[in-house]
Structure 1
Amino acid sequence: MELGVFLFRPLIRNRADFKQAEETLKKSEVWIRNIFKSLKEAVFVITPDRIFLDMNEAAQEMFGYTKEELVNRPSAIVHIDHEQYLEFGKKMEEVINKGEITNFQFKMRRKNGEIFPSEHTASLMVDNEGKPIGIVSVVRDLSEQKKIEEEKEKLQAQLQQAHKMEAIATLAGGIAHEFNNALTGVVGNIELLEMRLPDNKIVTEHTEAMKSSSHRMANLTSQLLAYARGGSYQAKTISLSDFVEETLPVIIPNIGPSIRIDTDLPRDIFKVNVDSAQMQMVLSAVVSNSSEALGGDGRIRVITSNEEIDAEFAKSQPGLRPGRYVCLTVEDDGEGMDEETVNKIFDPFYTTKFMGRGLGMAAAYGIIRNHGGWISVDSEQYKGTVVRIYLPAIEAEKKVKKEIITEPKLDIAEGEGTVLIIEDEEMVMNVTRAVLVRLGYHILEAKTGKEAIEIAKTFDGQIDLALLDIKLPDIQGDKVYPLIMKARPNLKVIVCSGYSIDTAQG
């Protein structure tokens, strides 16, 4: 029975009416058929028991079948499995029983086997007596919409991850600052004890053990600072290929003997501006992570390449800017990670069954971000992991994100002179004062930036050195520095804090 007959079956009372009705029906049917064909949406007509009766060209194009291939066949042919076909049957029963337009979504199968998401709007067709004779289903391909939604969700997840990392980094930086202040007191008092009892072997034995533990704590603090991006670094222009070539021999002894490391390190790589010591920490953390994922046997590939990051890709990686980069890629064919683990891999002290607790990957994240770069991890369980590190090429970025200060070696030996200590932490002040007094220096103290500026302006005598805490209760150290230098242009200043230690010389 044709579609027009389904939709229009007028009441016929006599022969004359029949002729007129027949002509009207034919015209209506042609009109409806033309509309049916021209619709851009895919339209199917099926029987109540889900047999294809008709379809338009859009439906044929969407599913890849011709009309002849589908008419009089069960609609199961376009469903992904029998279970879904039965579920579709329930939806059709719902349309028949309620007689209302029903919307639902299913994954469908094209002739070529491709599965795609779709939305259906189904409505019931009845005869003059109200008996169900068919169902019209308008089908919309949601592939593009779902793709946009997935990309949006991915971007939102990345933004949330970036915000979470920033929040944790802020917390880590605060902890490192307080920890460093406390550690300064411990180390300073150890030094004072050794200075007062230089020949006491028992004391020295214990102080050496305490200093060893203190150095471990200082290393932990350095990693926290790297993660928090609060530390300073000394950058120089290098070839990342040369760096990897020189650094891998240092790392290899720490990984399993059965693990093979392959490299692809082109010579024509762009130069980058990095702190080699911190980058060694990054490469060591990533390679060690891959080694542990392999479980002692497998292959790791280390690759460097020039990359041009366009605006579209940069938009998908919060914090990354378009431009030229050098990409350091570390691949392994280990057991991989699930999505939850990937999302937490940069969290400090996060543990997996193969990744020990620590700050390795967290510190790597902070170091790379501190260099104006980006680090990403792609992994799938049982299919390995790929870590990509993007560092700005110096051709594309003339200024490093953070000012680099070269630290001259300043040894404070015994002698004479006046030192201005600008420090608000009482314990740090006490220890620093005690050490310097022990070495023979005269001490001036300032607990705020304003006090320091006032002393610099009004002290009647020479000030040979200032120790300036970057974090003060009233004025930040970087604001105090130019003001005390203005008052005393020849003053030597060591800028220090729980976050970093930089040196400036007037």
Structure 2
Amino acid sequence: MIRPFWIRSNTAKPLSIGQPTSDCTHRSDCGWSLIAGGLALLLFGSLSELLVHYIMKFNIAVYDSAAYFIFIKYGLMHWIGTGVIILGMRKWIMTGDNGPRPQQSLPAPRTIVEKYDNYRDMLDNISDPIFLYDKATKFFVKCNKAAVDRYGYSSAEIKQMRPWDLHPEEEKALVQKNAASDIRHNPYYYTHLTKTGVRIPVEVYTNSIQLDGRHLWLSITHDQTRFRDIENSLVRSEERLRLTLEAVNDALWDYNMRTGEVYFSPNYYTMLGYEPYELPPSDETFKRLLHPDDVKKIVSPNNRTGEKLGKWESEFRMKSKSGEWLWILSRGNIIEIDTDGRPLRQVGTHTDITERKKQEKERLRLKNQLEQACKLESVATLAGGIAHQYNNVLSGISGHLELMKMKSSENENLCKHIRQIDELSQRMAQLTRQLMSYAKGGKHTVKSISVFEFVSAITPSVKKQMKPGMDLINRIEKDGLMIKGDPVQIESVLTAIITNACESIQANGRIVVRAEKYDAPEVVVGELDAAASGPYAKISVEDNGCGMEGDIQQRVMEPFFTTKFQGRGMGMAAAHSIVKDHNGWIDISSEIGQGTIVNVYMPLENRTMNESVADPDTALARKGTVLLIEDDLVVMDVSKTLLEALGFNVLPAPTGSEASTIAQSHQGDIDLAILDVVLPDMEALDVYPTIKKARPSLKVLVCSGYSSEGPVQDILDAGAEDFIQKPFTMTALSSKIDQVLLRGAG
């Protein structure tokens, strides 16, 4: 039967705690009990209370000098500082009855073999190979059945072998050295060879014992194949994880919140530009590198409860060794919590997403640019059509005014009214040109402009619009900065910017205009524009007004966006369109309560302001024949009259087909064709090659209420000489005709 046992000493007194078991063990079994106890602790236990899955069998004196075989199974081993005490279950196995027979004793075994035979059943039931070999001769004396089965040698063959005969050549010298030393319970890790040459990784525990004055070694061998497979699998798994993390450039972290222990993988450091382990792995290191603005974004793991246990993601910025802020995507998983649901440990990865963030910002910029372009395109289509019609009407008005001036030079009162009407029509023409500039960005009258002279010229007119007490200061120096563009458009840009500045400052406010050379070292990409590298004129308009909030700065260039009660929202939108068409850009910096700075960047012209611009010869004799191709009858009539007044013979053609017919059938010379872009029956681009085919030497001046972009530019690219914008004055028309006819003359 199985019953609890009470270890007693040879004097029939209870064994005291800490007393060695040898005090109550048969003298012939002292070595076995010590080995069994030590091996049980080393192989299957630890220095704490745990279950021992090992069977020990030895003789123990329970009453006085009586000795009985017992075995201990599933005992609890307690480490008490100076030794091991074993508590467990015992079974009397000598007589098979229910208790000991105090007056009966066992005869002492006479030889080692007889002693071994007493334990044969027990040892042969142990699955690990056990060897007993002579310390002097080094030959094996005995082995258990597991040794025979595992290695393939017979018991007789094993007795003819020494320990190193079970090892490969590369280990034999080491084994011989260890066999000659005084081994004390040391585990060794070797490779054993079976009879067939199979290599087995083993863990060997060896202890020295004495039996009848003979020194022996007892070795227990554990097959480590399964553990090595597990270990190798773990190594391979860790290697795969390492290679995977390196391949994706991810970093690994492990945070034990209970102990404060933190692990950072090498990639954690190199991702931020540090050498591996250059910084101490700690939560303080992470917090020190975290961007101050992102601290609130990070949900503290300590605030997580059991119901929120699981995976999480967060994006934040960390400071690299170079000082750059890198965007990091952190993925974590809480893997251990306490009974209250508070996290105790979490692991996760860090991924550098800085480039992705840059791409997202660029995509957002392009998206905004596309949306802006769509707005501009829709408005441009409407504005272009309206401006074209206005220009046709203004062409008729301007033409008739020119004729009236010619016939009323003696009537001063009438001339005064004509001049006022002409001034109004010119203002209207300027508004339509601004509208066209916004719609298509056309540079109608491109001239070389001195920044200093230009700003100086417009300053007085702008000051007239300012309230008393406000001051406009021109701090542009005569430094020779020259740009090329349409003076009317550039004036509208600066006027719009200065007007906005005037409306943002209070009484006694100040606006300062500066200009300087700016060398863009690389391609400049703004929120809405991209411009090439090179020299630019940087014109700055600075005010000390109320400033703008960030969202207003983002939208200030949008069409129809305004903060004014009666504003139209077209000033800055038109300015942006004009500057962009001049291959420049605008940037704005503003702070609430500190004012605003608007910078306009325009490409510098190669020459300086001191170089002269050659004017065409205005003394050219005006004579010859002009083919006037115009569908608007009013404009046709007034243009014909103006041309005739200049000395030309005019051939009117209201359609493209009529123009083609005249070009082919007219008997005399045709010196010039003035071609309107919009015709009722044909595209002007189709009319041009027809008349040029009929008269190859014919010079063509394109005329339109639209800008010089689009269809006009297509005709110019096809070979037309020049372009004149409607409405035009008689002076502008005569000057343009002179320039066209002068080309190639002589």
Structure 1 length-normalised TM: 0.69
Question: 2:690, 2:513 → 1: CA distance?
Answer: 45
Deviations 1:124-182 (A, max 9, x none): 4359x9x9753224344655643442244234423543454355334422321122123
Query: For the structure 1 residues 406 and 296, does the alpha-carbon distance in structure 2 shift closer, same or farther, using more than 3 Å as the test?
Result: farther
Question: 1:217, 1:410 → 2: CA distance?
Answer: 31
**Shift, 1:428, TM fit:** 3.1
1:226 correspondence with 2:441:
no
Question: What residue is the counterpart of 2:502 in the other structure?
Answer: 291
Query: For the structure 1 residues 339 and 439, does the alpha-carbon distance in structure 2 shift closer, same or farther, using more than 3 Å as the test?
Result: same
Deviations 1:25-76 (A, max 9, x none): xx99x9899999x9962514244xx8844343766897998456759x999x
Question: 1:163, 1:345 → 2: CA distance?
Answer: 16
Question: 1:269, 1:196 → 2: CA distance?
Answer: 44
Q: How many residues are paired up?
A: 471
1:345 correspondence with 2:556:
yes
Question: 1:109, 1:370 → 2: CA distance?
Answer: 41
Question: What residue is the counterpart of 1:251 in the other structure?
Answer: 462
Question: What residue is the counterpart of 1:387 in the other structure?
Answer: 598
1:168 correspondence with 2:375:
no
Within 5 A, what are the aligned runs for 1:99-114?
A: 100=310, 102-105=311-314, 107=316
Question: 1:240, 1:333 → 2: CA distance?
Answer: 23
Structure (1/2) with the larger helix percentage: 1
Q: 1:476 aligns with which of 678, 684, 700?
A: 684
Deviations 1:367-421 (A, max 9, x none): 3334333333344544433322222222399xxxxxx99788799x9xx986543
Question: What residue is the counterpart of 1:14 in the other structure?
Answer: 52
Query: For the structure 1 residues 444 and 383, does the alpha-carbon distance in structure 2 shift closer, same or farther, using more than 3 Å as the test?
Result: same
Cα root mean square deviation, aligned: 5.6
**Shift, 1:335, TM fit:** 2.4
Three-state SS of the structure 1 residue aligned to 2:605 is: coil
Q: 2:658 aligns with which of 431, 448, 451?
A: 451
Three-state SS of the structure 2 residue aligned to 1:456 is: helix
Question: 1:366, 1:407 → 2: CA distance?
Answer: 31
1:184 correspondence with 2:390:
no
Query: For the structure 1 residues 297 and 391, does the alpha-carbon distance in structure 2 shift closer, same or farther, using more than 3 Å as the test?
Result: same
Q: Which amino acid aligns with 1:103?
A: W
Question: 1:319, 1:468 → 2: CA distance?
Answer: 35
**Shift, 1:423, TM fit:** 0.8
Identity in percent: 29
Contact 1:344 1:350 in 2 (8 A): yes
Q: Which amino acid aligns with 2:335?
A: M
Relative contact order higher in (CA < 8 Å, ≥ 6 apart): 1
Structure 2 length-normalised TM: 0.49
Deviations 1:175-220 (A, max 9, x none): 2112212333455677889999999999999988766654443232
Deviation larger for 372-381 or 322-331: 372-381
Question: What residue is the counterpart of 1:330 in the other structure?
Answer: 541
Contact 2:329 2:353 in 1 (8 A): yes
Contact 2:673 2:698 in 1 (8 A): no
Q: 2:329 aligns with which of 116, 119, 141?
A: 119
Question: 1:15, 1:384 → 2: CA distance?
Answer: 83
Structure 1's unaligned 5+ residue stretches are 1-11, 398-403
Question: What residue is the counterpart of 1:8 in the other structure?
Answer: none
Three-state SS of the structure 2 residue aligned to 1:122 is: strand
Question: What residue is the counterpart of 1:146 in the other structure?
Answer: 357
Contact 1:45 1:52 in 2 (8 A): yes
Deviations 1:475-506 (A, max 9, x none): 43797399569839587x76432131472332
Structure 2's unaligned 5+ residue stretches are 1-49, 55-73, 78-186, 188-202, 204-221, 707-724, 727-732, 742-746
Deviations 1:245-301 (A, max 9, x none): 454344333324433445553555553323444433332222222121224443333
Question: 1:323, 1:74 → 2: CA distance?
Answer: 43
Deviations 1:407-450 (A, max 9, x none): 88799x9xx98654311234433554578799998753213344
Three-state SS of the structure 1 residue aligned to 2:588 is: strand
Question: What residue is the counterpart of 2:4 in the other structure?
Answer: none
Question: 1:69, 1:107 → 2: CA distance?
Answer: 15
Q: Which amino acid aligns with 2:503?
A: E
Question: 1:88, 1:108 → 2: CA distance?
Answer: 18
Q: Which amino acid aligns with 2:264?
A: N
Contact 1:79 1:85 in 2 (8 A): no
Q: Which amino acid aligns with 2:262?
A: D
Within 5 A, what are the aligned runs for 1:284-323?
A: 284-314=495-525, 318-323=529-534
Within 5 A, what are the aligned runs for 1:420-499?
A: 420-429=627-636, 432=639, 444-461=651-668, 466-473=673-680, 474-476=682-684, 480=688, 483=691, 487=695, 495-499=702-706
Deviations 1:313-332 (A, max 9, x none): 25876452222222212222
**Shift, 1:341, TM fit:** 3.8
